[in-house]
Structure 1
Amino acid sequence: MDPRFITPANNHSEAVVDESSNQKGRYGADFIDFLSVLHQFNCERLIERKVPGTLPFQVLTSKVVDFVFHICSRMNLPTEVKYVALEIFDRFCVHHFTDLWEHTCEVSCDEYQQMKVWKRITSRSQKQALLRAISSIQIASKFVLQSNCLTVKDVQEYLNKWGHAYNLHSIHLSEIRVFSTIGCKVPLYSMFDFTRTFLEGLQYWSDVDELYPTCEKVLEVAFLQRDEIYLRFFWMGTSRWHHSRQERLQFAEIEVNNLFFGASIVVCSVYIHQLEGLGPNEASRILSELSHISSSDITALAVVIAQLISGTRTVRFKACE
C-alpha cells in the first residue's frame, strides 16, 4: 500500500501475515485451496485493471449499480449474477472508451476536431448504454446459470415493456460486442465469491450462518456507495477530501483489491449484526491472516462502511467485543 494512503490505525505497519498464528489444521484443505485460487485471481485482476489513462469503476455510479440490481431482481436472477454483470460492464466501458479515444486521435491531429468527433462518438455510446448494461447481465447469467440463463427473447420482452424497441438481431449483436470487447473473458469470481469465502473462513471459528443475509445487504450498500466509501477512506489516510488525478491513479490499486473490500464488508457485517461469540475486532484479525491485509486497514475500511450505513461518525468496534 502506498504509504500516503495507510490509515491512521496502521501508520507504522504493512500487511504482514504471521504464519505461526495461522493455526494449521483449523481450516479444511478444500477451503485453503480455493482461498489460494482467489488470491491468484486477485493478483491477476490488479494487473488487468491497470488500463493506461483510465480509472476503475468510473461508470459504476450509484445510478448504474441500482439499475443493474433492479433488472436482476425483476428477472429473478441469483445474487451472484448482478456482481458479475457489474464487473463485465465496467470492464467493457473501460476498454470500449479507450478504443474510441484511440480512434478519435487517429481521425485528426487537430484538438478541436478531436473533441468534435469525441462528443459525437460518446453521445452515440451513451444512447447504447442501456442495451450494453443488459447485455452484460445476459452474459453474466450465462456464466452463472448456463442453460437457465437470460435469453435474447427475455431481454427483448423486457426492453419492449419499457418502450425500447430493439429487434432480436440488435440484442444479439450487442451481446457479441460486449463479450468481444472484454476479450471473451468473463471474470471467474466476483465480490460475492470473496465475501462468501471469508464467511466460510469465519465459520471455522464460530457459527456465522445467521450472518449471510446481513452480509448480502452490506455488500449491496457497499456497491451503491463505493465512491463515497473510498473517498472517506482516502481522507482517513491523508486528511484531505480532494486528490489529484495522479493520486487517484495510485489509490486505484486499493479500490480494485477484492480481498481488502470483501474482508472489510464481512467485518462490517459482524459489527452490524452483533454476532454472539465473535466480535468485529476478532473477525478482522482472522480475515487479516486469510487475506494478507493488515487487520487495522480492514477495520478502518469496515468502520467507513458502517458509518455510511448507520449515518453516524461514532462507530467503535471495541463496543461489540
Structure 2
Amino acid sequence: MSQRHSQRTPKISRMNSAENANKIFSEEQVVEQKVDEGDDRDVDFHEIEGSLHMINWQDCLAQLSSDIIEYQSNAEASDWSFMKPAIIQYLFTICIRLRLPNEVRYTAALIFNVYMRRQIMQLYQFLEDQDMSAAQKSREWEKIETNAERQIPLRLLSAVQISSKIHSYHDSLSSRQVVNCLRSLSLPYTLSAVQNSEIRVFRTIGHKPPESPLTVCETAIKILAYSMRKHGWADDSKFDMIWQHVLVVLDVCMINHADLYDKFMARRPRNNFSAKDDPAVVLAKFKWDFLMLSISVIQTAILCVIGRSCLPLISKVLVKILHCDERNCQLLHESIVEMIEERR
C-alpha cells in the first residue's frame, strides 16, 4: 500500500472502546436469553474422548503450518492496519459480555481486520481510477472515510457474528441480537441491513476466515500435556490454570500487538535482514506466525503457573512440536514478559 494510501485510512483509533462496548449491554433487551447446553465450555485437558488421536497430530500441525505459510507468502506491510488497541478491546469486551466461546473473539478480530483492509483498498483504487482532480478526490475520500468510520460498530458485530457461527452455532450471535446491540448505541440499523452486512463481510474476506492463534495454542497444549504428564512436569490440576493464563496472555498480545512486535524486532539481530527486505513486510510476516506466538504465549503462561524450573525443557518440547525457531520464540517470550511488566 502506498504512503498516500496509509494516510487515508479511517481514524478508528478515536473510538472510546470501553464506553461504547459497555453501553451495548446497558439495556436488558439487548441479549436474548438462551439455554446453556454446555457448547461454550472451556477445553478439558483431562478428557480423552473427543480429543485428537495421536496418529493425527502431525497432519493437524502440518495443516496449521501450511495456512501460516500461505498468510506469510501473501503478507503486505498494511496487513495489520486495523488491529488498533481500542478496536480490539472494544470487540473483546462485546464477546466476553455476550459470553461467546473464547475462540470467537480472536477470529472475529482477524476477520474485521482483513475485511476493513480489503474494503478500504478497493474503495481507494476505485477513487483513483475516477477522472477527477486531486481536490475532488480528496473531498470524496473524506466522505468515504467518514462513512467507513460510522459503520465500524456494524462491521465489528458482523465479524463477531460470522466468527460465532464458525466456532459454535448454538452460541452464535443472531441478527436480531446484532440489531438490538446497535440500537443501544442509537444506531437504528434494520434486520435486513445487518444480514446484508454479514454477507458483505464474509464475501469480502473470500469466504475464508483466518486461522485463530488460540486454535494453535489449544492444539499445542493438548500435545504438550501428554509429554508433561509423562515426565511429571505438572499435575493435572495445573492444566486448567495454564489454559486460563494462556487466554489472558493472548488477549494482551492481540490488543497490544504493535508494541509487542516492536519490542521483538528490537531484540533481533539487525544483520538478519537483507537490504532488499521491506522491514514492514518482514514485521507483518512475523505477526502472521501464530506458531511462534503460541509457543511464546504458552511459555509465559507456564512461567506464571509453574515457574522457571521446567520452562527450558518444556520450551524445547514446544519448539519440537511446532517446528519453530527456538531463538525467535525465546525473544518473543521475553518481549511478552517485558510488555506485561510495563503494564502492571
TM-score (norm: length of structure 1): 0.80
Read off the aligned partner of 2:144 and give its amino acid letter: I
Question: Which residue in 2 is equivalent to 1:33?
Answer: 59
| 8 Å CA contact retained: 1:211, 1:269 | yes
1:147 shift after superposition: 4.3
- In 1: Cα distance, 2:131 partner to 2:140 partner: 9
- Partner of residue 339 from structure 2, selected from 297, 308, 313: 308
| 8 Å CA contact retained: 1:272, 1:306 | no
1:226-255, CA deviations, whole angstroms, 9 ceiling, x for partnerless residues?
11000111111257xxxxx94212321111
Read off the aligned partner of 2:201 and give its amino acid letter: V
| 8 Å CA contact retained: 1:287, 1:295 | no
- Partner of residue 294 from structure 2, selected from 251, 258, 262: 262
Query: Paired residues, what number?
Result: 277
| 8 Å CA contact retained: 2:119, 2:204 | yes
- Partner of residue 168 from structure 1, selected from 191, 213, 225: 191
- In 2: Cα distance, 1:198 partner to 1:91 partner: 25
- In 1: Cα distance, 2:183 partner to 2:243 partner: 36
Matched, 1:199 2:208: no
- In 2: Cα distance, 1:309 partner to 1:276 partner: 17
In structure 2, do the counterparts of structure 1 residues 300 and 204 end up closer, same or farther at CA, with 3 Å as the change threshold? same
| 8 Å CA contact retained: 2:101, 2:171 | no
Read off the aligned partner of 2:220 and give its amino acid letter: F
Matched, 1:74 2:97: yes
1:161 shift after superposition: 2.1
In structure 1, list runs of 5 or more residues that go unmatched.
Answer: 1-26, 240-244, 313-321
Q: Once the two structures are aligned, what percentage of the paired residues are identical?
A: 22
- In 2: Cα distance, 1:256 partner to 1:276 partner: 28
| 8 Å CA contact retained: 1:108, 1:114 | no
In structure 2, list runs of 5 or more residues that go unmatched.
Answer: 1-52, 229-233, 271-276
| 8 Å CA contact retained: 1:84, 1:140 | yes
Read off the aligned partner of 1:127 and give its amino acid letter: R
Aligned to 2:251, what secondary structure does the other structure show? helix
Question: Which residue in 2 is equivalent to 1:283?
Answer: 314
Pairwise mapping of residues 142-291 of structure 1 onto structure 2 (< 5 A)? 142-187=165-210, 189-206=211-228, 207=234, 209=239, 210-237=241-268, 246-275=278-307, 278-279=310-311, 281-291=312-322
Read off the aligned partner of 2:284 and give its amino acid letter: A
| 8 Å CA contact retained: 2:91, 2:156 | yes
1:58-107, CA deviations, whole angstroms, 9 ceiling, x for partnerless residues?
11111111111111112110000001101110110111111011101111
Question: Which residue in 2 is equivalent to 1:293?
Answer: 324
1:276 shift after superposition: 8.2
TM-score (norm: length of structure 2): 0.75
1:118 shift after superposition: 1.9
Pairwise mapping of residues 38-187 of structure 1 onto structure 2 (< 5 A)? 38-48=64-74, 50-51=75-76, 54-108=77-131, 110-187=133-210
Q: State the structure with bigger RCO (CA 8 A, min sep 6), 1 or 2.
A: 1
